[in-house]
Structure 1
Amino acid sequence: MSTRRAMLVQAILYLGACLGIILAVQQLWEAERGLQHLRAQVGQVPVEVLLPAEPEGPRPAVVIAHGFSSSKQMMSPFAYTLARHGYVAATLDWSGHGRNPGPFPYDWSAVHAGDSALTRELEAVLAYVRSLPEVRGEQVALLGHSMGSAIVTRYARDHGEIAATIAVSAIFSDVLPAQPRNLLLLTGALELPRLQAAARAAFEASGGGSEGETAGALAAGALAAGDARRLVLVPCADHATVALSPRALRETVQWLDGTFGRASEGAVDTRAVWVGLLAACALVLFWPVSRWLLQGWVDRPGPCPLELVGVLLVLVIPAVAAPLLLRWLPYHTLPLAAGDYVMSLLALQGILMLGLLAVTGCLDAPTLGRFFSGRAWLAAALLTACLVLAVGWALDRTLLSAWPTPQRAIVIGAAFLLVAPYFVCADYVTRAGSRGLNRI
């Protein structure tokens, strides 16, 4: 391909990416139309309430709980869908997750026994939601995913005033034939077999059987009587994507409509599609932006081209040794569930990689200084800022807690410092070891 033709193709690609970003932003903006956001801090727990903007008097409410190492953003498809159908939907961040500054209570026995700090957080959020003038206090349902499903199912089992419970990717099966009331179990058809078995066990323990199967779902009882049970294997969904599935969203609305005697109308949430388009287009533009920021620095060759054996040693030994060593090291110092382990793992792996590169003589002081120079840090900060500005705000509204906040400033700074050696070494090995990598 000639240089002129290549430049034309690049120009068309970049123009298309810009247009894609404009379209995605417009659609994400449109998704907010007609909805009202209320944000509150219940103790340490950040709560976001989503409801229709037009006044209609008190409405039924649903408190939505995310799973382990997730955040309230992951559950926003349920919140947006329910708000579009006339419900008040409240999402929360558990301790150690999202914007909740509290440390995660690593006491799984207490979580399953319903006697943990997380259960008390749920009680506080429920009290807050019931106090809202927009909420009909006696019409409250719970929805939880994975770990969140265990907490809300246990709570609803012990509190008969909860009108309905939706357990997504259920992991808790200690239920009763009459409690919780109106139990809907949603599990991805691509879910792990043991989690599918947990959902089926919960269905059977709650009084369901295998004789009422229709349209890929098992059902028993009646919504009007409060003893309805339904188990749905959601097609083409796994543990995470079940929260984005249109089938799961529709099943949830229909279940709650039947519970509260409503006939709501509205669309299911599709913002994840537009976030995907936005992210893809931003990544297309990321390459020229990064080349421009690192011009004159990134193409300098490493001083010691690694052979294949050297590349494998530097990559494989730390990857195997770091998880083993971390078993005996304290890593629950950062108040982030799962994030504390990931950052500690990458930090340890980076230190081991630096040591191996130094021992082999491939990473001397001048080279190390170039990688940790002021320009390198500035470029890394600018590239991170570009990604956050491009897709962070959109992800923060739909899937992940991705927008920096003052509460997380220290954690973000610590994470940046902890993982920097790993990514510096990975970049160095990729370029200095290109001769060895080309043989693979």
Structure 2
Amino acid sequence: MTAAQDHPHPVGWRLTPARWIVAILALAAIVVSIWQLESERAGILIEPVPGTGTTPTTVYRLPDAGPAPVVIVSHGFAGSRPLMQATSLTLARAGYAAVAFDYEGHGRNPVPMSGDLDSPEGTAILLMAETDRVIDAALAQPWADGRVAIMGHSMGSYIAVRQAVVDDRLAATVAVSMSDDSITATDPPNLLMIQGEWEGRLIPDALAALHRADPAAGLGDTVGDPAEGTGRRAVLAPNVEHVGVIWSPTMLREARAWLDATFGRQSSGDVAHMGGWVALLLTGIVALAWPLARLGGKTHQARPKPLPRNRFLIAALLPAVVVPLVLAPVNTRFLPVLVADYLAVHFALYGVLVLALLAWWGEVRWPGWREVGRILGLAGLVAFYGIGIYGFAMDRYVTSFFPNPERAVIIAAMAVGTVPYMLGDALMVEGGRAPLWRSLTARGAFLASLGLATALDFSGLFFLLVILPVVLLFFLLFGMMGGWVGRASARPAGAGIGLGLFLAWALGVTFPMFQMAS
């Protein structure tokens, strides 16, 4: 499918000096980042932990170091083991056996979450039981010396705190980005709370928990004695928010020092520095797409014809209102994933409505079969770059991006929605040639549409708010990349289909799987 066209014009394939400079800088950023990130992993033995059943579990430790204290590392909602690598590597380098695992429904764990998400006696109890199984398996290994502590982020900190309250084996708890009403003046023992400086709503929770032990204590104060199991401390990691705190050097140093005080150890050396290098690596991969977009050879494909302003505004704004209103009374639960089924239907109906409007106005037409082949070939290249290249970096250094087979159905269902949506989006913005205000209007309207859907069914679609930043980041980074490809090839449909496939993959591996009640 292609937009109505004006006179054909050639598009050159040779790189300009500016594109050569960007290509060289992007490749340099990629190489340096990978070298730095791999150096953080150097010298650390990373291997599976047996005996954990279906729960994928990994230990990070120094080879041939002998038995050591175990630290269980638990990730947050929609996270996975790689997301906690900075913690695992820092603790391993300090001589601990850091044991990270994927909770049910997350990462490569094939078992979906279940229970009641709103009840402490529901899903939390099941995740605590899984944590208990991991602790049992870790302590049974020859590299464990019998001592154990636990560290968690966000949802993982919620589970860690509750587990430590009932599990006498856990000598200390490090709760990052925590919020929990089960904390008392003495339970759990040896509690360190670390919040990001920009996590405003969570900071009072840490202070309230600290004040239960000492009403006069403040951030940075230590109450009690960690060596005796009575320690309490709350600190802020500067200049980070809910995700950035995972890579914060302050957080890592505080966590290591707290565990050292608990176990009577003394660690030296630097902590893992990964956050900045991860950001540089992903930026380099996205930036490299700009010069690569011009390497497809010459094309005489005509430039897409701009939509008249009034038609563009109708196509951009009408679906944003109609789709959430139409879907509000519809039961869209058919996938074992939280709100992903609704999102897939929302994408699909939105895209179909846009494409129907464009077809009704005669703004699109079916291309010849040869051109269809070129469009699909371009779509495949775009999808491969996103899933294969960008996805490899994500999977190794950020979070699980290559899923287990159980997620194949989810990705396919998401693609049924994201492909028509991104195809309609690409045609509306003329493959990236439209003025910036049109791109902002079209994509801003879609985000507002998801917001309206959430407002109409807040309890049922609350978790859409969790995924909104992912969609926004996709628009900012890969919407821009799609524009580069669309302008270079004059085939917006190819860029749109490819980005739709990539978006389906990204969303399909991000949503936690959840077993719906029968």
Q: Report the TM-score, using the length of structure 1 for normalisation.
A: 0.86
Deviation at 1:226, TM superposition (A): 0.7
Q: 1:117 aligns with which of 104, 110, 126?
A: 126
1:169 — aligned with what?
Answer: 177
1:262 — aligned with what?
Answer: 265
Q: 1:56 aligns with which of 45, 53, 65?
A: 65
2:158 — aligned with what?
Answer: 150
Show CA shifts across 1:29-80 (max 9, x none): 2222110011247332211211112x12211111111111222222111111
CA distance in 2, matches of 1:115, 1:8: 56
Please tell me the residue identity of whatever aligns with 1:171: S
Deviation at 1:435, TM superposition (A): 6.1
Show CA shifts across 1:248-300 (max 9, x none): 11110000000000001232111232222222222222123234348638x63
1:159 — aligned with what?
Answer: 167
Q: 1:271 aligns with which of 274, 279, 283?
A: 274
Residues 14, 419 of structure 1: alpha-carbon distance in 2 compared, 3 angstrom cutoff: same
The structure whose RCO (Cα within 8 Å, separation 6+) is larger is 2
Secondary structure, counterpart of 2:293 in structure 1: helix
2:207 — aligned with what?
Answer: 200
Residues 212, 347 of structure 1: alpha-carbon distance in 2 compared, 3 angstrom cutoff: same
Say yes or no: does 1:96 pair with 2:101. Answer: no
Say yes or no: does 1:85 pair with 2:94. Answer: yes
Mapping of 1:243-392 within 5 angstroms?
243-293=246-296, 296=299, 300-302=302-304, 305-323=306-324, 325-337=326-338, 339=340, 342-364=343-365, 366=366, 373-392=372-391
CA distance in 2, matches of 1:91, 1:136: 17
CA RMSD of aligned residues (A): 3.0
Say yes or no: does 1:399 pair with 2:408. Answer: no
Contact 1:173 1:199 in 2 (8 A): no
CA distance in 2, matches of 1:371, 1:105: 48
Contact 1:96 1:335 in 2 (8 A): no
CA distance in 2, matches of 1:348, 1:187: 40
Say yes or no: does 1:188 pair with 2:196. Answer: yes
1:425 — aligned with what?
Answer: 424
2:30 — aligned with what?
Answer: 21
Say yes or no: does 1:227 pair with 2:219. Answer: no
Say yes or no: does 1:236 pair with 2:235. Answer: no
Unpaired runs of 5+ in structure 1? none
Please tell me the residue identity of whatever aligns with 1:316: L
CA distance in 2, matches of 1:112, 1:33: 42
Residues 329, 201 of structure 1: alpha-carbon distance in 2 compared, 3 angstrom cutoff: farther
Secondary structure, counterpart of 1:23 in structure 2: helix
Give the stretch that moved more between structures: 281-290 or 223-232: 281-290
CA distance in 1, matches of 2:96, 2:161: 20
Contact 2:19 2:290 in 1 (8 A): no
Residues 30, 437 of structure 1: alpha-carbon distance in 2 compared, 3 angstrom cutoff: closer
Contact 1:114 1:155 in 2 (8 A): no
Please tell me the residue identity of whatever aligns with 1:77: A
Residues 51, 435 of structure 1: alpha-carbon distance in 2 compared, 3 angstrom cutoff: closer
Contact 1:35 1:83 in 2 (8 A): yes
Say yes or no: does 1:45 pair with 2:46. Answer: no
Deviation at 1:344, TM superposition (A): 4.5
Residues 436, 143 of structure 1: alpha-carbon distance in 2 compared, 3 angstrom cutoff: closer
Show CA shifts across 1:385-408 (max 9, x none): 223443322322222212355554
CA distance in 1, matches of 2:121, 2:255: 24
CA distance in 2, matches of 1:435, 1:115: 48
Please tell me the residue identity of whatever aligns with 1:128: A
Residues 28, 151 of structure 1: alpha-carbon distance in 2 compared, 3 angstrom cutoff: same
Show CA shifts across 1:85-140 (max 9, x none): 11111111122211112223262234466753222211111111111111122x11
Show CA shifts across 1:406-432 (max 9, x none): 554443344333311111111110118
CA distance in 2, matches of 1:402, 1:355: 33
Contact 1:24 1:274 in 2 (8 A): yes
Deviation at 1:371, TM superposition (A): 12
Give the stretch that moved more between structures: 242-251 or 110-119: 110-119
Residues 352, 155 of structure 1: alpha-carbon distance in 2 compared, 3 angstrom cutoff: farther
Residues 371, 80 of structure 1: alpha-carbon distance in 2 compared, 3 angstrom cutoff: farther
- Percent same amino acid at aligned positions? 33
CA distance in 2, matches of 1:198, 1:22: 41
Please tell me the residue identity of whatever aligns with 1:416: A
CA distance in 1, matches of 2:144, 2:304: 63
CA distance in 2, matches of 1:395, 1:68: 17
Deviation at 1:436, TM superposition (A): 7.2
Contact 2:91 2:97 in 1 (8 A): yes
Residues 417, 376 of structure 1: alpha-carbon distance in 2 compared, 3 angstrom cutoff: farther
Secondary structure, counterpart of 2:180 in structure 1: coil
Contact 1:28 1:274 in 2 (8 A): yes
Please tell me the residue identity of whatever aligns with 2:188: P
Please tell me the residue identity of whatever aligns with 2:156: G
CA distance in 2, matches of 1:230, 1:285: 45
1:212 — aligned with what?
Answer: 217
Secondary structure, counterpart of 1:190 in structure 2: coil
Residues 319, 372 of structure 1: alpha-carbon distance in 2 compared, 3 angstrom cutoff: farther
CA distance in 2, matches of 1:324, 1:229: 50
CA distance in 2, matches of 1:178, 1:270: 33
Contact 1:307 1:435 in 2 (8 A): no
